[in-house]
Amino acid sequence: MFKTTEDSKIQISELMKPHHANFGGKIHGGYILSLMDNIAFACASKHSQSYCVTASVNKVNFLNPIEVGELVTMKASVNYVGKSSMVVGIRVESENITTGKVKHCNSSYFIMVAVDEEGNTVKVPGLILTNKLAAKRFIKSIIRKESDSKRSEDLENLYKNLDDHLEQLKDYNVKIDFK
């Protein structure tokens, strides 16, 4: 079974209220992350027709602050599928509802896994790539996955060869005081 990215696209909008704000008067990043997790779940579940759990989140950069009174819109689509996992791409925008100005606030990739009632992984439908943008997103997900695996391997090797790297630390704001 295969589905297109269009089959599982989700979009939600929510007005940002004062109780969503931090002490600086901007919307809490944690609140936005919670909304992103919700839409990633909905998108992945819609694609897989199964309960889904968040396995990881690939880098969230907050590009622009979100103000109280702005309308936040999140757009999600399945960019990649494996056997039981999916990469859900999410774009977050905020709109000043009085001026109509829209800003891109962040984009992120949530890795979701489809599971059954016992928590065992289940196979997800394949993805039909219907345009070059969908193909580009799928390929970027593969590259990101390979890069993450390589980075994990490099970090593991760092621990094995820590003494070789200690000299590099002299250029950083750190004091080595092994006891």
Residue 28 covered by a domain: yes
For 98-136, letters b (16+ CB in 10 Å) and e give: eeeeeeebbbbbbbbbbbeeeeeeeebbebebeeeebee
Q: What percent of the chain has pLDDT over 70?
A: 100
Residue 154 has pLDDT above 90, yes or no: no
Residue 21 covered by a domain: yes
pTM attached to this predicted model: 0.89
Rounded to 5, what percent of the chain is helix, strand, coil?
35, 35, 30
Residue 138 covered by a domain: no
Give me the domain span that covers residue 65. 2-129
Residue 63 covered by a domain: yes
Alpha helices in the chain (DSSP H): 29-48, 132-160, 162-165
CATH classification of the domain holding 63: 3.10.129.10
What is the amino acid identity at position 121? T
When divided into structural domains, the chain yields a total of 1
Residue 114 covered by a domain: yes
Residue 23 has pLDDT above 80, yes or no: yes
24-51 average pLDDT score: 97
Q: Please give the mean pLDDT across all residues of the chain.
A: 95
Q: Tell me the pLDDT tens digit for each residue of 72-99.
A: 999 999 999 999 999 999 999 999 999 9
Residue 148 covered by a domain: no
Residue 95 covered by a domain: yes
